[in-house]
Amino acid sequence: MYYTGKMKCLYCGQEYETETMFEGCPKCHNDKFASNLTPVYELPKTDGKKETFMKMFPGSGLEAYRALLPFKGTERFVDLGAGNTALTKLERLGEELEIDLYMKDETRNPTWGHKDRLNAVLINKAMELKAPGVIYASTGNNGASGAAFAAKAGLPCIIMTVTGVNKTLETFMQIYGASLIGVKTTADRWKVLKHMVDENGWYPATNYVVPIVGSNPWAIDGYKVISYELYKQMDVLPDKIVVPICYGDALFGIMKGFSELKEMGFIDKIPQMVSVEDYGPVAKAYNGNLDIIEPVEGWGSVASSMSTIWGTYHSLHALKKSNGLAVSLEGNGEINEAQRELAQKEGVYCESASASTLAGLRRLISEGKIKKGEKVVILITASGVKDTAVTSSYLPDIPESNAKMEDIYSILEATYHIHVNN
Amino acid sequence: MYYTGKMKCLYCGQEYETETMFEGCPKCHNDKFASNLTPVYELPKTDGKKETFMKMFPGSGLEAYRALLPFKGTERFVDLGAGNTALTKLERLGEELEIDLYMKDETRNPTWGHKDRLNAVLINKAMELKAPGVIYASTGNNGASGAAFAAKAGLPCIIMTVTGVNKTLETFMQIYGASLIGVKTTADRWKVLKHMVDENGWYPATNYVVPIVGSNPWAIDGYKVISYELYKQMDVLPDKIVVPICYGDALFGIMKGFSELKEMGFIDKIPQMVSVEDYGPVAKAYNGNLDIIEPVEGWGSVASSMSTIWGTYHSLHALKKSNGLAVSLEGNGEINEAQRELAQKEGVYCESASASTLAGLRRLISEGKIKKGEKVVILITASGVKDTAVTSSYLPDIPESNAKMEDIYSILEATYHIHVNN
């Protein structure tokens, strides 16, 4: 157990002995700025051999990495079998882009998205703290994932949502038995969360303050496991890891995981973290060398899982600490095209936010910021089947046939350019 | 390489040296009966130790099991990273049912369902045979999975479908770039498949004949990998494996995998295969000790992935050879209830067909056919998010609130029976 029970501010370095501070660092906080707190570990130095890592953290589930997670107790984890996701080489796109390209396929989690990394830790932490339940502000993936883990744990789960956004995702959140309540605005959702946390001791999963700090900082450490898995899966770590960001929980968590591997002596260098946004508040601050992330203008992005005009400090920190890159997009065309390309060239159907990694990659390559032959991992965060409405909006109608072979042949030829030799 | 290039009839034992016989055994075929052919392997005897198996088949991907798959060549497999799916203990349901219950979570595949097992082999076999493309009759999971693998392989893929059945699944099939054509009836789809196979050499994935024989028999061997994984994952194999069946490809493939493990000396006994159907043609034949599977009456099942009034001989064979059990259901109530229970007690949201395993299990336990303390694995075949319409039909509306805390408290109390101490 390397967890100290302490939290440290990423910006001012202030330490706190607390397990219930969810609104960022009070010391350096002001009206326009909130820095993140993150759990502190006292890590051992090692001989740096991969076999030492394998011995220290044997197995492939969450339990394998317990010592690197923010738990004081030794209670067996409630687990849906999160993690251990496939790393797959994307040969055709890699060849086309002239890079060595892989995806970490986070759709292979229990609820088919990377939020399971967060919730696997969150639920167990809520139980360790004997919280009466967990509470989310969510309209989709995170709420559903949390509801699933809460169901497995038998822990009450409240999700403050906005109804009518996406019927599939509503059903997805509801089926696990969570207590969903619809309110009108994000501000309303956050107000209820704050009250339930402060007054009733419910354990919060998601952000509920402005300036925004992102998700529960203990739970964010669940994303570190992605780094540990990549270290196990790859002989040589990638030059760049491309992550779609909203509040940047995964971007920061992955960077933190690598940073710990470095501290323990297993790696010499943290791979460069690359953030992709639709609107780009973090890119604007990072590329402009600012500490304060101002909101930017939106343009109606289809990538609802990542879409925000706000940014968080831990995103900026992850980029700085890894000497990373930040890129933003300019419209839905490139996102949809990336989704189509990933499916049609690599057999990977991911949600729009995940596909934006490819769109961002294309931009960075064309700007010369990612060079020929570099090794790149994109994080595919969630399955495309959770939200097919955007996809179907740009697909053509399916042609109908009377099933006579001349008609079939002519459809194959005209619509699909398949010439059948008969 | 243990594959002989031969096929053998499950019923009459006739052998054929062929790689293009898709309509079952011609020798014992008649108007009411078609038996399946299956690839023949010459398997080595071993010392039966698990470590020997681990050495013979190291790793966790499809490549690990190449010698047990129907390939003559040594070309590297096109692979989306299928398989290596989680085995998860279902503690709460197991306790309630007084059995030792697990799920093999096939939703953790590249297209979030077990059809990836079939298509991983199919696509590579089509490439080995230099087929011009692969062709499916499908309205959902299988077509989408095939389209994904075909995209990864760069192989043309035609899907004969019936439009208007399920918009989500249509988009899912389309996005991978397959050539979809809608026709009116299943008979029309099969007619086109037969023509494309016989006249143009396209490689068929699915059934296209009556009496029905099921999917491509070489591809079905992809399901054997589920057995190999279970052997690796479990110290002691289960007494029963519960599989939802339509044409029974997975049921047969899993049984065949275990039967090979027995032949090689790794196990003494094949676990009993348990088939669950909605309408029950196979249960009727098996429980009535008949070789010919007569069609039965349907009742409008919601479990569209499994729903058929027809059965196949290899289903019957799998049950006989493993001294298995066959059960059928009586209505959608028990299927929906099982789906809700799996989600709310175990955090597992699966499609209706997968949930029917729990409904079948409940029946078999109440009939005394599965006893206290038995070890049971249910096969969870596909994710629930692929088809949320059925689920949403039985879920209540989400309550709306003005976000005032008194209102939130009273909704929590009245709708969700959560009393908040404030």
pLDDT, tens only, B79-115 = 999 999 999 999 999 999 999 999 999 999 999 999 9
pLDDT at A422: 56
The pLDDT tens digits of the residues spanning A351-383 come to 999 999 999 999 999 999 999 999 999 999 999
CATH class of B87-109+219-387: alpha beta
**Is the confidence at residue A421, as pLDDT, over 90?**
no
Taking CA atoms, A348 is separated from A27, A50, A159, B364, in Å, by 45, 30, 30, 39
Residue B164 pLDDT class (50, 70, 90 cuts):
confident
Return the C-alpha torsion angle B216, B222, B223, B225, nearest 10. Answer: 170
CB A134 within 8 A of CB A155: yes
Spatial CA neighbour of A181 closest among A198, A156, A203, A200: A156
pLDDT at A285: 98
CB contact under 8 A, A392 and B148: no
Q: Detail the DSSP E strand segments found in B124-229.
A: 134-137, 157-161, 179-182, 203-204
- Using only C-alpha atoms, chain A has a radius of gyration, in whole angstroms, of 22
pLDDT at A77: 96
Residue A60 pLDDT class (50, 70, 90 cuts):
confident
- Do you find a cis peptide bond into A238, omega within 30 degrees of 0? no
Whether A130 contacts chain B with CB within 8 A: no
Q: Give the separation between CA B363 and CA B135, rounded to whole angstroms.
A: 38
Question: Around Cβ B290, how many Cβ atoms within 10 Å?
Answer: 11
Contacts of A124 in chain B (CB under 8 A): none
pLDDT at B228: 98
Token readout for B321 is: 């050879």
**Is the confidence at residue B422, as pLDDT, over 70?**
no
Taking CA atoms, B296 is separated from A39, A181, B405, in Å, by 61, 44, 56
Q: Which carries the bigger pLDDT value, residue B140 or residue A82?
A: A82
Burial letters B370-388, b for 16+ CB under 10 A, else e: beeebbbbbbbbbbbbbbb
**Is the confidence at residue B421, as pLDDT, over 80?**
no
Percentage of residues of chain B with pLDDT beyond 70: 100
Q: Mean pLDDT across the stretch A105-114?
A: 98
Closest chain A residue to the Cα of B89, Cα to Cα = A80
Sign of the alpha-carbon dihedral angle for A365, A367, A369, A371:
positive
Residue A59 pLDDT class (50, 70, 90 cuts):
confident
Sign of the alpha-carbon dihedral angle for A209, A214, A217, A218:
positive
Q: Give the separation between CA B119 and CA B222, rounded to whole angstroms.
A: 8
One CATH from 3.40.50.11540, 3.40.50.720, 2.40.260.10, 3.40.50.1100 for A87-111+219-393: 3.40.50.1100
Q: Which of residues 27-66 of A touch B (CB under 8 A)?
A: none
- Do you find a cis peptide bond into A58, omega within 30 degrees of 0? no
Percentage of residues of chain B with pLDDT beyond 90: 96
Q: Give the separation between CA B82 and CA B75, rounded to whole angstroms.
A: 17
Taking CA atoms, B280 is separated from A92, B288, B304, B331, in Å, by 45, 12, 14, 12
ipTM reported for the complex, 2 dp:
0.96
pLDDT at A249: 98
* B138 contact partners, CB below 8 Å, separation of at least 6: B144, B146, B159, B160, B161, B173, B205, B206
pLDDT at A87: 97
Helix runs in A264-387, H state only: 281-287, 313-321, 332-346, 352-366
Name which of A165-174, A341-350, B4-13, B316-325 the model is least confident about.
A165-174
CB contact under 8 A, B384 and A172: yes
Contacts of A136 in chain B (CB under 8 A): none
**Is the confidence at residue A165, as pLDDT, over 90?**
no
Q: Give the separation between CA B58 and CA B64, rounded to whole angstroms.
A: 6
* B267 contact partners, CB below 8 Å, separation of at least 6: B231, B237, B258, B261
pLDDT at A30: 96
The pLDDT tens digits of the residues spanning B35-49 come to 999 999 999 999 999
pLDDT at B165: 86
The pLDDT tens digits of the residues spanning B204-246 come to 999 999 999 999 999 999 999 999 999 999 999 999 999 999 9
Say if strands B157-161 and B179-182 run parallel, antiparallel, or are unpaired. Answer: parallel
Contacts of A132 in chain B (CB under 8 A): 420-421
Identity of the residue numbered A314: H
Q: Give the separation between CA B365 and CA B98, rounded to whole angstroms.
A: 9
Return the C-alpha torsion angle A185, A190, A192, A194, nearest 10. Answer: -170
Burial of A13 by CB count in 10 Å (0-12 exposed, 13-18 middle, 19+ buried)? exposed
Contacts of B398 in chain A (CB under 8 A): 161, 163, 170, 174, 180-182
Q: B108, B127, B170: which to substitute to probe chain A, counting the most A Cβ within 10 Å?
A: B108
CB contact under 8 A, B170 and A392: yes
Helix runs in B274-331, H state only: 281-287, 313-321
Q: Mean pLDDT across the stretch B146-174?
A: 95
Whether B347 contacts chain A with CB within 8 A: yes
**Average pLDDT of chain B, as a whole number:** 97
Closest chain B residue to the Cα of A404, Cα to Cα = B192
What is the domain partition of chain B in residue ranges? 87-109+219-387
CB B135 within 8 A of CB B193: yes
pLDDT at A166: 87
CB contact under 8 A, B109 and A108: yes
